Amino acid sequence: MPDTVHENAAQKSGTLLGADELVINMGPQHPSTHGVLRVKLKLDGERVIGSECVIGYLHRGVEKIAENRTYQQFAPYVDRMDYVAAVSNGLGYCEAVEKLLVVEAPPRARVIRTILTELQRIASHLLWLGTHALDVGALTPLFYCMREREEVLKIFEKYCGARLTTHAFRIGGLQYEAYDTLEKDVERFCGSFEGRIQQYSDLLTGNSIWIGRTRNVGILNSTDCIALGVSGPVLRASGVKWDLRKAMPYAAYDQYKFEIPVGTRGDTYDRYMVRIEEMRQSRLICLQAIENIPAGPIMARVGKVLKPPAGEVYHAIEGPKGVLGYYIVSDGSVMPYRVRIRPPSFINLQALDKMIRGHLVTDVVAIIGTLDIVLGEVDR
Amino acid sequence: MADESKAPQSPESSQPDVAGSIPAPSAASAAPSSTVKAATPAPVQLPLDNELSRRYRERFGSAILDALEDRKQSILILDAKHLLEIARYSRDEEKFELLEDYTAVDWPRREKRFDLVAQLYSFTHNTRLRLKILLRADQQPATLVPIWPAANWLEREIFDLFGISFRGHPNLKRILLPDEWQGHPLRKDYDILQQDTAWVRENLGIESGQ
């Protein structure tokens, strides 16, 4: 298709290349695609008139692997999907299997899970903010964001020994008791973090370059969002007040007060504002949670050998990127018959074509950044 | 495999068939737990008979093959022929605006080999509904793209990994695997170590990806 386009244009203009339309490849090795995403862009000058995503470079067949592992053996694999939010992935998987087994994690485990998951949301949003700002041309926020993310990763490291692919939770609860100074560490982090968010805000929110690069760029309205299945901060920035932590509470979210930030225009700037505010809300959830961590066991009574009764379950949580769902079918054996992961990045990425049409190539970089995709999860 | 390793903390043997792998001393610790567990033995699948399922049955009659409740989640089992009408009705009348997920499950020994599984969500009622479409291996279901554009990539993924073709899909080609790949890995007869050796040899220049 691209070649014929070129030839026709070339014949008309009498030059070697048609000057009006051009197809270029962005990625898969392009720093601003945040991984190995390849986008074929059809351009008119510098304006995008069409696009196609080519994905699958990181496909590892996670769902196939699941069918050949026991329920516990598969748990660490989910950390490697959205590897910047491993704790959230683990929470979704553990809760889904617990639903399948019809057991519930004890209250203490649920609160600790909530704390760690919210810290993970902050860490994920920080990495997004730093790299997104970097893509758009603001170098400084990256260093600040990495500094704060480091604090969160240190808490993870103290808790379970791992920083990135944590495998922090177990089916039925937790393996590790909270370490002695967990509350203090979280409190210290939250104490300084409010001011730190303000710092990023000062750098970006009123910055005229930032506004110029993000305002009215990549608008996606609520109707399109819902039609395309888009969820998470991207959906909320278009004005839909929907967050699974409120709509269908899991873990311990029903115990805490927090707001769901929404945008109005659904542009890149709104998505930025929504995520910034979400970090503030996550901080508030953490502060409420550490005040009262209930005593008691951290593990429900589940067998050493898990054989969920035959049947199926779908469980979704509000991950940092959007709705992260697990559909698990059991045939009564020790291995799942089928595990389907609903990856928020994969489904959100589908909206890219709609968002970049009519924009310049430089805006494509901003829009890929604002979608906050992780290719490990897109390709699974 | 890992489950056969000895248990450091007291294991809880809710399943009689695993008791053999647990040494006798644990009997004392297992005794109180079995009394705890005994209260909730059988959750599993029950017939679903609520307002929602009755409305669907009234409207579509025999096209709704069954309605089930599994772990408090509603499931409607449909005949593939009426998929499009039922999907449109679900979106417009029952207000399931969001196609949250769409996938398939392979049951090779069944006469109707595949389940297509759609997870629907309604913003209006804050409820979920699962549609399950039974499919013979040679059947081509209608695409859901005109109703929920989100189905586009999801159907491509099903096509890629299960080999189910959707009638009327705007761009039905592989999405995760290379276009020339042979085979559909999520089918049950595709072994976990299986691969398209010819493709690997030709494109990666190695004998095996394993």
Who among A102, A248, A350 is closest to B153 (CB)?
A350
Q: Which of A359, A323, A326, A358 is nearest to A340 (CA)?
A: A326
Contact B123 A340 (CB under 8 A): no
Q: What is the DSSP letter of A232?
A: T
- Kindly provide the ipTM of the predicted complex, given to two decimals: 0.84
- Banded pLDDT at A336 (limits 50, 70, 90): very high
CATH superfamily placement of domain A62-213+278-379? Cytochrome-c3 Hydrogenase, chain B (1.10.645.10)
Task: Give residue A121's pLDDT.
Answer: 93
pLDDT surpassing 90 at residue A329 = yes
Contact B43 A337 (CB under 8 A): no
Residue bearing the bigger pLDDT, A191 or B14: A191
Alpha carbon of A349: minimum distance to chain B alpha carbons (Å): 10
Q: How far apart are CA A210 and CA A204, in angstroms?
A: 6
Query: How crowded is residue A20: how many other Cβ atoms within 10 Å of its Cβ?
Result: 14
pLDDT surpassing 90 at residue B121 = yes
Percent of chain A scoring above 90 in pLDDT: 43
Q: What are phi and psi of A179, to 5 degrees?
A: -75, 165
- Banded pLDDT at A327 (limits 50, 70, 90): very high
Contact B150 A242 (CB under 8 A): no
- Banded pLDDT at A50 (limits 50, 70, 90): confident
Residue bearing the bigger pLDDT, B34 or B195: B195
pTM score: 0.83
pLDDT per residue over B65-77, tens digit each? Answer: 888 888 888 899 9
Residue with tokens 């705890």: B36
Q: What is the mean pLDDT of residues B124-141?
A: 91
Who among B3, B97, B174 is closest to A70 (CB)?
B3
pLDDT surpassing 80 at residue B8 = no
Contact A313 B3 (CB under 8 A): no
Task: Give residue A17's pLDDT.
Answer: 53
Helix, strand, coil % (nearest 5) of chain A? 50, 10, 35
H or E segment at A202? helix A182-204
Task: Give residue B197's pLDDT.
Answer: 81
* Long-range contacts of residues B39-47, Cβ cutoff 8 Å, at least 24 apart: B40/A102, B42/A309, B43/A102, B43/A309, B43/A311, B43/B71, B44/A309, B44/A310, B44/A311, B44/B70, B45/A311, B45/B69, B45/B70, B46/B70
Instruction: Report whether B133 contacts A328 (CB < 8 A).
Output: no
| Beta bridge pairs of residue B69 | B46, B74
In this structure, of A79-93, A111-125, B5-19, the range with the lowest mean pLDDT score is B5-19
Q: Nearest 10 degrees: CA dihedral of B84, A344, A214, A210? A: 180
Task: Give residue B31's pLDDT.
Answer: 38
Q: How far apart are CA B75 and CA B68, in angstroms?
A: 5
- Nearest C-alpha in A relative to B132: A312
| Six token digits for residue A306 | 């898990």
pLDDT surpassing 70 at residue B38 = no
Task: Give residue B209's pLDDT.
Answer: 66
Q: What is the mean pLDDT of residues A324-352?
A: 92
Q: Which of A45, A83, A137 is nearest to A365 (CA)?
A: A137
Percent of chain B scoring above 90 in pLDDT: 36
- Banded pLDDT at B13 (limits 50, 70, 90): very low
Task: Give residue A18's pLDDT.
Answer: 56
- Banded pLDDT at A277 (limits 50, 70, 90): very high
Contact A228 B149 (CB under 8 A): yes
**Helix locations, A58-139, DSSP H:** 62-66, 71-79, 86-101, 107-136
Q: Which of A141, A161, A91 is nearest to A121 (CA)?
A: A91
pLDDT per residue over A237-246, tens digit each? Answer: 999 999 999 8
Q: What single letter denotes the amino acid at residue B182?
A: Q
Task: Give residue B210's pLDDT.
Answer: 66
Residues of chain B neighbouring A244 (CB-CB closer than 8 A): none
- Nearest C-alpha in A relative to B102: A342
- Banded pLDDT at A11 (limits 50, 70, 90): low
pLDDT surpassing 70 at residue A285 = yes
Could you give the residue range(s) of every CATH 1.10.645.10 domain in chain A?
62-213+278-379
Alpha carbon of A135: minimum distance to chain B alpha carbons (Å): 26
Mean pLDDT of chain B: 79
pLDDT surpassing 70 at residue A137 = yes
Q: What is the mean pLDDT of residues A50-76?
A: 90
Who among B71, B97, B153 is closest to A226 (CB)?
B97
pLDDT surpassing 50 at residue B19 = no
A28-55: b or e for each residue (b if 16 or more CB lie within 10 Å)? bebebbbbbbbbebbbeeeebeebebeb
Who among B98, B103, B161 is closest to A226 (CB)?
B98
Give the strand pairing for B73-79 and B98-106. Answer: unpaired
- Nearest C-alpha in A relative to B97: A226
Domains recognised in chain B with CATH numbers: 45-173 (3.30.460.80), 177-210 (no CATH)
Q: What is the mean pLDDT of residues B133-140?
A: 90
Q: Which of B33, B102, B121 to mutate to test the interface with A (most CBs of A within 10 A)?
A: B121
- Nearest C-alpha in A relative to B44: A311
Q: How far apart are CA A105 and CA B144, in angstroms?
A: 37
Contact B97 A61 (CB under 8 A): no
